[in-house]
Structure 1
């Protein structure tokens, strides 16, 4: 007879000891805490034929959106025994293979099919949620969670994670009040849940509540910053609040001492670094050649990958900031190659990634009208290449600054009005409006 996991789903090849290690890995993944892979090593050591231990390892590796993870993920999947698998486990393997092949939409559908039959499959839910994020699918960020809610209770193991994912989905759909309430509740259930914490951070960012945001981050710092592989992204959120308050010295302090303190080569951490430096660059702030050079050097080996367009755009930002024209051309060549191919990332690249990258190149070369022409149509569907509203604000910030430098006063005024609707006290938005009004009066 097959053992069952903590939520009642049958697992093949497991022992009680291995299943305990698996649950520890899952709990770590749900909070982005500790080292889930170490727990999976224990699980496999105790039960080499434990299907879901191998599957979760593949999922964890692929969740980082890095091409370098494909080979080790496939190695994990090669260790499963198809004849022994349950139908649910077989769908997990199929979804993981789709992810490795860059078929993000197909993987998302497979996780959905798993959840229709097994709504308390916490791993399928978490992976589906991440893929929705990588595809910029705001509706499913919310509704994938909503669809399984009736099957969960407050006593179901990992319930805090369900609430944290729901909070983020609600935030990305603009339901800020509900998102904040549910996100705070999830943090009360498990203070170590870094995803729930960051869902509340997004609410405060989108509403321009910088004082509340700084307080939220600082008072809960010990929960999200210690032994947590999502910590750098949460430090990035703290830096965003300070940036919106024009506290540039504090932004650079966080960048140096937190975001790049370990010179991480994890792509998601590198995205945060690139995004922050580009925002400072748009402000006309000289961050120094050393910062640009350091982050560009760790992006350089990825310039030919073309695995995920959202990442490629951030790599491009670092190459431009560092003045590495050779890497700029390599990245453009990769994006153009991918745009001419087939698949999910090809569509992301054609529709958003390539024009955004070309716009950034134009901006860096002082061709501001060209930047505007490229970004104005793209900004309306930039979600198609993934990320959150806060992350994709990079597109809008580049557009409004290009419009300003290109003297397109009416566009600056219109875009400033948009920003002030969401953040009435934002210093940068007020400056853009002031610029437009002064130019109009002149």
Structure 2
């Protein structure tokens, strides 16, 4: 059996292949129930190697430590089955990620994609790993390498455009990012990643009205899926940018947190929005309490520092000293391990976590001290520019609160100029001709 792009599939049957292709299609759009269809493929053909591999990928991509044992189990089942060289690369990459070697997993998929540029699963999971590890350049270039091998009539072409759009956006090419992202949505309106790439452009350029129109005018991304909460979060950011706190709170209590999510990727958005409201002085009542409880398992995992940061916000704001103490011990132990999260913590995660805890405690000088040290390399623990902007916002708030007005003014000046440049505005002061 072969998939839609001509790749051999060891152990597949016709019925299993149908379910597998549906799972891949839904994963490309980040909608529907790809895991359910992957499990249907396994049930239809228990010796279908890539169906087991897909289950493992889906357990890992949410960055929830609690799902890693499930990924390892699916990987063990796949390793007991026949696999060709391409499939074996998938299994090797999954094994690296299960062992905490995020970057080696990304490199394994990078090499796979160079030989098999039509393997959309490898491209998509590879870009997700680039995102999680903060490899900003490869977010774009991994996809750029494959693009020449594709044509618009090939299945899944929209996903390639959407992925490239996001890579362009994270590298500051906003014009082309928007162009590729909008084209992807024309081809497949349910492509939530392409939708996400365009809303990132509009966020970074401060185009608030455009952002609201883009999100409210498209219906495809609102279906239940892996990225729906995050896209609602982006809409909330546009309302906050217009100082419409009520609209942001309505989204928070509705599609963002109304269903009480427990997935780390969704809890990140809840914490991040609540924190931004907190920086504005908005009273969010007891909302932090429930969020902290749902983050509680993270305190003992030490799996991914970016998640730890957002869990720490909830623990500190909810007054959960017990969970903060557990998280501290977990991070100290995680820093000694021989995996990539140790590097994420040492480079950014530990200092960022200490900064938000100090902020809640009112120790704003400590917050400033920790955040100033990591601004230039904050991408090293993952996330997007829009997500990491929370660190700059916190730094400015603490600079003001700690009696450092000169620093606050300087940070605000650089922020304002960068915003104008991103939006394509002219500088506020005339530029002097260069000296020769």
TM-score after normalising by structure 2: 0.95
Q: Which moved more, 1:164-173 or 1:367-376?
A: 367-376
Q: Which residue of 1 aligns with 2:100?
A: 102
Q: Which residue of 2 aligns with 1:413?
A: 409
2:49 paired residue among 48, 51, 55: 51
Note the C-alpha offset of 1:77. Answer: 1.5
Q: Which moved more, 1:139-148 or 1:318-327?
A: 318-327
Deviation string 1:357-388 (CA, Å, 9 cap, x unpaired) is 11111111111111111111201100000000
2: CA distance between counterparts of 1:212 and 1:83? 50
Note the C-alpha offset of 1:299. Answer: 0.6
Note the C-alpha offset of 1:223. Answer: 1.1
1: CA distance between counterparts of 2:419 and 2:353? 27
Note the C-alpha offset of 1:423. Answer: 3.0
Q: Which residue of 2 aligns with 1:171?
A: 169
Note the C-alpha offset of 1:421. Answer: 2.1
Q: Which residue of 2 aligns with 1:285?
A: 282
Deviation string 1:392-416 (CA, Å, 9 cap, x unpaired) is 0111111010001112112111111
1: CA distance between counterparts of 2:211 and 2:302? 35
Q: Which residue of 1 aligns with 2:323?
A: 327
Question: Could you tell me whether the CA contact under 8 Å between 2:169 and 2:200 is conserved in 1?
Answer: yes
C-alpha change, 1:334 and 1:160, in structure 2 (3 Å) is: same
Equivalence map 1:220-231=2 (5 Å)? 220=218, 222-231=219-228
Note the C-alpha offset of 1:102. Answer: 0.9
Note the C-alpha offset of 1:321. Answer: 0.9
1: CA distance between counterparts of 2:421 and 2:47? 58
2: CA distance between counterparts of 1:18 and 1:118? 22
2:380 paired residue among 381, 384, 391: 384
Q: Which moved more, 1:223-232 or 1:173-182?
A: 223-232
Tell me the C-alpha RMSD between the 2 structures. Answer: 1.4
Note the C-alpha offset of 1:343. Answer: 1.6
Note the C-alpha offset of 1:338. Answer: 1.3
Q: Which residue of 2 aligns with 1:195?
A: 193
2: CA distance between counterparts of 1:421 and 1:99? 40
Deviation string 1:111-145 (CA, Å, 9 cap, x unpaired) is 01111111111110010010000011110100000
Listed as ranges, the gaps of 5+ residues in structure 2 are 423-436
Q: Which moved more, 1:130-139 or 1:74-83?
A: 74-83
Note the C-alpha offset of 1:74. Answer: 1.4
Question: Could you tell me whether the CA contact under 8 Å between 2:233 and 2:273 is conserved in 1?
Answer: yes
Note the C-alpha offset of 1:42. Answer: 2.1
2: CA distance between counterparts of 1:274 and 1:121? 35
Question: Could you tell me whether the CA contact under 8 Å between 2:99 and 2:339 is conserved in 1?
Answer: no
Q: Which residue of 2 aligns with 1:432?
A: none
1: CA distance between counterparts of 2:29 and 2:156? 9
1:304 paired residue among 300, 305, 326: 300
Listed as ranges, the gaps of 5+ residues in structure 1 are 427-442
Question: Could you tell me whether the CA contact under 8 Å between 1:49 and 1:81 is conserved in 2?
Answer: no
Q: Which residue of 2 aligns with 1:349?
A: 345
Note the C-alpha offset of 1:83. Answer: 5.9
Q: Which residue of 2 aligns with 1:430?
A: none
Q: Which residue of 2 aligns with 1:267?
A: 264
1:152 paired residue among 130, 150, 153: 150
2:255 paired residue among 253, 258, 264: 258
2: CA distance between counterparts of 1:110 and 1:187? 30
2: CA distance between counterparts of 1:19 and 1:334? 42
Note the C-alpha offset of 1:229. Answer: 2.7
1: CA distance between counterparts of 2:226 and 2:363? 39
Deviation string 1:42-67 (CA, Å, 9 cap, x unpaired) is 21122111111000110011000011
TM-score after normalising by structure 1: 0.93
2: CA distance between counterparts of 1:121 and 1:361? 43
